[in-house]
């Protein structure tokens, strides 16, 4: 059987582990402190979006404008709250089926990478026991454009020295699947993106990857 891919690039949040609630709690604290309405419906719009872009969405509900300096301060405050919450994470927050899938793909000699908009990706990976596990980590620290721009995935492919067409992206957000396609990659989707039919493969769980690869 001729292999279609040489590398698998995983989004982090919602695919490898789940930090949605930590993000929500941190943004909620910022919104509450500034009298801005914020709930899970608004939070869902932030998935796969950079920190500053997320803040702009939240500030749509603000009764008063914020300067660029004030926005930077709010984003920094949110990140400090978020990092404090992330420190609660342990290897128990890595689902067993995800680790099993990663190990199986490693045994099949696929290159494995992370493609995440989060600047906290390295810290999260360390907390859940995957520090140093991946062949490359492309994240919010080395990109300037958020998904659906393909930059984070293209940089991951570049780090791996693999052509984009030989990379499969695993995503749970529609914007992530769109980013993969714009970058010339195919996408296997789980979660919301799978429910929306956004992928070339729409899976019920990450573990189904082992059936298509």
The CATH number of the domain holding residue 136 is 3.40.50.1000
Which domain, by its residues, includes 145?
A: 7-18+91-212
Residue 1 falls within a domain, yes or no? no
Catalytic residues: 11, 13
106 shares a domain with 82: no
- pLDDT of the chain along its 213 residues, tens only? 689 999 999 999 999 999 888 989 999 999 999 999 999 999 988 876 778 999 999 999 998 899 999 999 999 999 999 999 999 999 999 999 999 999 999 999 999 999 998 889 999 999 999 999 999 999 999 999 988 999 999 999 999 999 999 999 999 999 999 999 999 999 999 999 999 999 999 999 999 999 999
CA 55 to CA 26: how far, in whole Å? 11
State the CB neighbour count (10 A cutoff) for residue 2. 3
What is the model's pTM? 0.85
168 shares a domain with 105: yes
CA 23 to CA 72: how far, in whole Å? 17
Residue 39 falls within a domain, yes or no? yes
């Amino acid at each position: 059987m001729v292999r279609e891919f040489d590398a698998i690039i995983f989004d982090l949040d919602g695919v490898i582990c789940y930090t949605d609630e930590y993000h929500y709690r941190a943004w909620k604290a910022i919104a509450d402190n500034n009298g801005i309405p914020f709930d899970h419906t608004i939070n869902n719009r932030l998935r796969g979006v950079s920190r500053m872009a997320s803040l702009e969405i939240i500030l749509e509900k603000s009764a008063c404008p914020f300067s660029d300096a004030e926005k930077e301060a709010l984003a920094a405050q949110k990140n400090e709250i978020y990092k404090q919450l992330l420190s609660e994470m342990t290897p128990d927050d890595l689902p067993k089926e995800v680790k099993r899938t990663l190990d199986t793909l490693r045994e099949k000699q696929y290159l494995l990478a992370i493609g995440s908009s989060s600047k906290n990706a390295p810290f999260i990976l360390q907390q859940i026991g995957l520090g140093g596990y991946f062949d490359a980590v492309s994240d919010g620290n080395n990109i300037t454009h958020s998904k659906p721009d393909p930059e984070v995935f293209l940089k991951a492919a570049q780090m791996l020295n693999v052509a984009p067409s030989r990379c499969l992206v695993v995503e749970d957000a529609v914007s992530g699947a769109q980013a993969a396609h714009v970058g010339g990659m195919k996408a296997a989707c789980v979660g919301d993106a799978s429910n929306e039919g956004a992928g070339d493969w729409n899976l019920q769980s990450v573990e189904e990857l082992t059936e298509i690869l």
